Amino acid sequence: RNNLYHLLAGGIKGLPYFTWSCLSPGAWKEIKHQAPVVRKIGPVQWQLRPAQRKIGLLLPFTADCFRPTDHLIQPYAYANLMQGHFDVDPICEEEILNGYCKKYPVIMLYYIRWLPKKVVKALKKYIRGGGKVILDPTVPFDIPGAIRLKVDIGMGKEQTVGVPKGQAHLSRPGIND
C-alpha cells in the first residue's frame, strides 16, 4: 500500500501489475481495497500536468538486443526513484543522440550492459555542455566525466563494478559499435 501511495505522489500516471502463478489471498484483498482509491484520484491526476522532470533515466533498446531480459530489471530503478519523489522520466538512446536530453539536468544509467559508441559520444558531449551523467555500480563501463554511485539504485545495495577492463565485446557487456 505504501508503495502505491508513493508512486501516486510521485506523479506516475499508470501502474503495470503482474500476477505471478501464485498470489496470496491477502494480495487480492489489498488490490480490491486499493481499486476505489485509484478510481477516485485517477481522473483528477490524469488532468494534472507535471513540471519538467529533472532526471532522464536511460532505458536503451540496445540492451534488449543483447539480453532481452534486461528490460525486466531496469524498471526497479524507475520505481525506486519515483517512490523517493525524484522527478524522473524514462528516455531512450534516440533522445540522447538527437539532443532532446538537454532538457534534463541529469541523465542516469542503471543496469545498462551494452551501449553504442555513438551514444557514449553524445553523453560525453552532454557532460561537456554542463549536464551530469550518473552511473550506478551495475553499469560495467565508465564514461569520462560521469559520476559513479556506490549504491545499486534498483536493488538498494552497495556494491562495486563487476566487469574488469578489457571485456567490452559484443558477447560481453561494454561499449560497442
Counting residues of the chain whose pLDDT is more than 70, the rounded percentage is 74
pLDDT of residue 166: 46
In the chain, at which residue ranges do the beta strands (DSSP E only) sit?
A: 55-58, 88-91, 106-109, 114-116, 132-135, 147-148, 174-176
Dihedral sign, Cα of residue 88, residue 94, residue 99, residue 100: negative
Quote the cell numbers at residue 144: 569520462
The CA-atom distances, in angstroms, between 116 and each of 2, 129, 137 are 38, 20, 19
At residue 170 the predicted structure's pLDDT band, cuts being 50, 70 and 90, is very low
Measure CA of the first residue to CA of the last residue in the chain; give whole Å. Answer: 44
Q: Give the residues across from 134 on adjacent strands.
A: 108, 147
The per-residue pLDDT for range 64-123, each reduced to its tens digit, is: 777 777 777 888 888 888 888 888 989 999 999 999 999 999 999 998 888 889 999 999
Quote the cell numbers at residue 154: 534498483
Q: Give the residues across from 88 on adjacent strands.
A: 55
Average pLDDT over residues 150-174: 60
